Amino acid sequence: MSANRFVAKPADAGESLVAVAQTRYALSNIRRGPGTNYADIGDILDNSLLVYFPNTRTTDNWLWVEKGGLKGWLYAGYVEFTPAIGAQPPTHPKTPYDGKIALWHWKGLAVPQKTIADLLKDIRAKAPAISQIWVKISDGAKWMGEYDSGALAINGREDIDRWVAACHRAGFEFHAWAVPHGLRIEAEARLIIEACTRAGVQSLILDIEREKGNYWQGGAAAVRPFMLQLRRGLGNRYHIGMSVDPRPQQYRTVFPHEWSPFIDSVHPQTYWQIFRKSPEDALSSVWTTWGGFDKPIIPVFPGGAETQEQIEAHTLATQLHGAKGLSWWRYGTIARWQGVDRPIEITTSPADPEAPPRENFAEQVIILPTKSGFRSGTYTGKAEFSARANTWGWEYLYVGTAERTSKVWAEWRQKLPQNGLYEIAVFVPNRRATTTRARYKVHGVVGAASEVVIDINQNQHRNSWVSLGIFDLDRGQDNAGRVFLNDVTGEPDKFIAFDAIRFRRIVSTPTGYLPAPEPTRGRRPTRVNGVYVADGYDSPIGTSEQRRADRLWPPGWRDASPFGRRYFRGTPSEAYHTGADLNFGSPYEDKGMACYACASGVVTFAASLAVWGNVVVIRHDPLFHPSGRVLYSRYGHVQQIRVRVGERVARGQRICEISDAFGRFVPHLHFDLSATTILERQPGNWPKLNFSALMKNYVDPLDWIRKHRN
């Protein structure tokens, strides 16, 4: 029987059902027929929304499924189909957010647009599904204009009216949000009431977090008097929501039972990147922690997260947990809109073809402290900076914060390859970064009269990239591509870190673009519409001729511990293996042999880890076209690393050598592939005996490379 023969959907397939497919594996194959002897035509990811036909189930447990234009047979033994909630009526009291997608706006200085109309026009063009704009009106007893400037700043009721009118003309609802401090209760409440009683202000969201000096500082005793003031001014029918850090350890710090009588909805800041969790685990924790609060849960999601994770979070929140609304933090940090621009209710069939991504990243440059493109100095004439080794493999600088007078400064300067939109992000290390107000200044932004100032709470982040925003940069302007930071934060007894800066140019896919057809043998492009793409995968070891040959692994090489094998049985090291342990010849013969990038991509980690020794992680380009599958590869126990974080590598480029983790192991290359972002968040991830975690995050490297050699 030919593997390419196609078995069509049965004529008596019966009724279709929309479901969330919760899979045992990171990638589950859709095949041309009901069996592994049929060709693989595509994959579905864990927590994907799809259509399946229960009546097509075969005696050996294959089902007909349809997902994003793919139609074929899926083995149901490894998939649990959970019915999607879809458009079922809500079980909680109605809120202004039901059926709506909202976008948070922080301040005008943090966005490239200079008028409200231009900002709203851009949102409408990029995300038609968004219907609400949540605008920050105040911080403590001050209008937000105290921290902003320009036409988007809010300094009083007239500015509220301008925003409301502009939103109405553009087809958006205006909702207010504020950060109360609980210190000047009457003044804070009076300002919020003045804003929210203006015509067209639909609701209020209070950002209640426990962070000394920036958020709620009034303790439990101030909650009731503050909320009584608000309710007297706004009435009991006016909807007030509360946005919180949803982690279990933060629950009691915001005094939820004090707020409960006055609050109508809760908006958990479900930032799985900061929490170092998957979207699934983060959302499960949200409902476990805040489900007992007995208020409608309307999650807040990170706009800068990976698109596939955004889609997964959207699906889980709306179709499993029953959230009737969502919001995205924040405008100005969203580079790719495909995951954001999705309605709450299912309006089209998950079986329909999905549109390709409209935005993607092109060139990327990372400027490391003390390296080319970085300068620093002091105003005191003394050596003020201290240096520390970064967990990610480079050295960074830090210093104690200054309240008013700066002692040090640093700048990162990138020569722009061309004009256009750039995402600029900063790396925050896990040590000596405790300031809540690192004030980065971005220069050369089109339309800005001076630098754009972005405050970053370094204390919230650990070994992660944090977006400053999306900026329209003109390389012809003075200081274009320059980021500046000093030590003035207004805080005593904190540390501020001066770490890496990343520039990523954003390109838009032309309207009408269609992905490439099914891959065939032969040369494929490595860039499509300005986006780098992977033209295939190869073995990470062997000569160039061997890596191009049909045999995997090359002659003389063997895999001592194949994917999924349980090894070191009966010892503390017992585990399921995440990839391949590649050896050549007799023991120690392969030490010093070259390792090569299995596909094109960008290095995300290159440093030493406990137990592992030296490790390299590469985030590979999307396979064949901009909407193709993105994988991460890891090369463990190596030596002589030739690449650094942020460097682009080509397929087959030499990146390191096989070694022994500083004598811990017999020399070999540990090589694995992940279909999730687990290796970007945790380069040393090791699921040990958690077989479910293994299968949800890793794929068999031998099988993947064999199928995607091209």
User: Model confidence over 628-663: pLDDT tens digits?
Assistant: 999 999 999 999 999 999 999 999 999 999 999 999
Question: Residue 267: pLDDT above 80?
Answer: yes
Q: Which pairing describes strands 386-389 and 395-400: parallel, antiparallel, or unpaired?
A: antiparallel
Query: How would residue 188 be classed by pLDDT, with cut points 50, 70 and 90?
Result: very high
Query: Can you name the residues that pair with 673 across neighbouring β-strands?
Result: 633, 699
The one-character DSSP state at 320 is I
Q: Tokens 């400037």 sit at which residue?
A: 149
* Tokens 């349809």 belong to residue: 66
Cis peptide before 706 (omega within 30 of 0): no
Rounded CA-CA distance 680/630 in Å is 12
The two counts, helices (H) then strands (E), for the chain are: 12, 42
pLDDT, one tens digit per residue, over 55-77 is 999 999 999 999 999 999 999 99
Q: Which two tokens stand for residue 273?
A: 């990147």
Give the angle 14-15-21 at the CA atoms, nearest 5°: 115
Let me know: does 136 contact 361? Beta carbons within 8 Å: no
Single out the residue of 7, 10, 93, 13 nearest to residue 53, CA to CA: 13
> End-to-end alpha-carbon separation of the chain, Å?
24
Read off the pLDDT band of 705 (50, 70, 90): very high
Domain with CATH 2.30.30.40 in the chain: 17-83
Please tell me the CATH superfamily of domain 363-508, with its number: Galactose-binding domain-like (2.60.120.260)
Q: What is the pLDDT of residues 527-579, one digit of tens each?
A: 988 899 999 999 999 999 999 888 999 999 999 999 999 999 999 989 999 99
Digit-coded pLDDT (tens) for 285-313: 999 999 999 999 999 999 999 999 999 99
Given a contact cutoff of 8 angstroms between Cβ atoms, the answer to whether 184 and 218 are in contact is no
Residues shown for the chain: 710
Phi, psi torsion values for 580, nearest 5 degrees: -130, 140
Closest CA to 578 of 710, 704, 391: 704
Distance CA 627, CA 175 (A): 34
Structure tokens given for 238: 């006016």
Q: What is 527-707's CATH superfamily? A: Glucose Permease (Domain IIA) (2.70.70.10)
pLDDT of the residue at 370: 87
CATH code that applies to domain 100-355: 3.20.20.80
Residues spanned by CATH 3.20.20.80 within the chain?
A: 100-355
CB-neighbour burial class of residue 423 (10 A; exposed 0-12, middle 13-18, buried 19+): buried
- Which residues, 6+ apart, have CB-to-CB distance to 274 below 8 Å? 302, 460, 461, 464
Q: What region, left, alpha or beta, does residue 83 occupy, with left being phi > 0 and alpha being psi -120 to 50 degrees?
A: beta
pLDDT score recorded for residue 519: 46
pLDDT reading at 264 higher than 70 = yes
Q: Quick one: average pLDDT of 383-401?
A: 94
Q: Which residues pair with 467 in a beta bridge?
A: 425
**Distances in whole angstroms, Cα of residue 279 to Cα of each of 23, 55, 99, 186, 246:** 15, 32, 21, 39, 13
Residues 6+ apart with CB under 8 A from 99: 324, 325, 343, 344, 345
- Dihedrals phi, psi of 333, to nearest 5 degrees: -120, 0
430: its two tokens: 């896990």
Q: Beta partners for 268?
A: 244
At 619 the pLDDT is 97
CA 671, CA 701: separation in Å to the nearest integer? Answer: 8
Instruction: Give residue 346's pLDDT.
Output: 82
Q: Which residues of 498-517 are buried (b: 16+ CB within 10 A; e: fewer)?
A: bbbbbbbbbbbbeeebebbe
Superfamily of chain region 17-83: SH3 Domains (2.30.30.40)
DSSP string, 201-266: EEEEEEE----TTTS--STGGGHHHHHHHHHHHH-TTS-EEEEE---GGGTGGG-HHHHGGG-SEE
pLDDT higher than 70, residue 453:
yes
Per-residue model confidence as pLDDT tens digits over 138-164 = 999 999 999 998 899 999 999 999 999
Whole-prediction pTM = 0.91
Report the SS3 class of residue 505: strand
For the chain, give every residue range classified as CATH 2.70.70.10: 527-707
Q: Are strands 438-442 and 482-486 parallel, antiparallel or unpaired?
A: antiparallel
Quote the mean pLDDT of the chain: 93
What span, in angstroms and rounded, lies between the C-alpha atoms of 592 and 431?
34
Q: What is the DSSP letter of 553?
A: S
Q: Distance between CA 398 and CA 496 in Å, rounded?
A: 6
Torsion of CA 274, 279, 282, 288, to 10 degrees: 160
Q: Are strands 130-139 and 173-179 parallel, antiparallel or unpaired?
A: parallel
pLDDT tens digits along 22-55 = 999 999 999 999 999 999 998 999 999 999 999 9
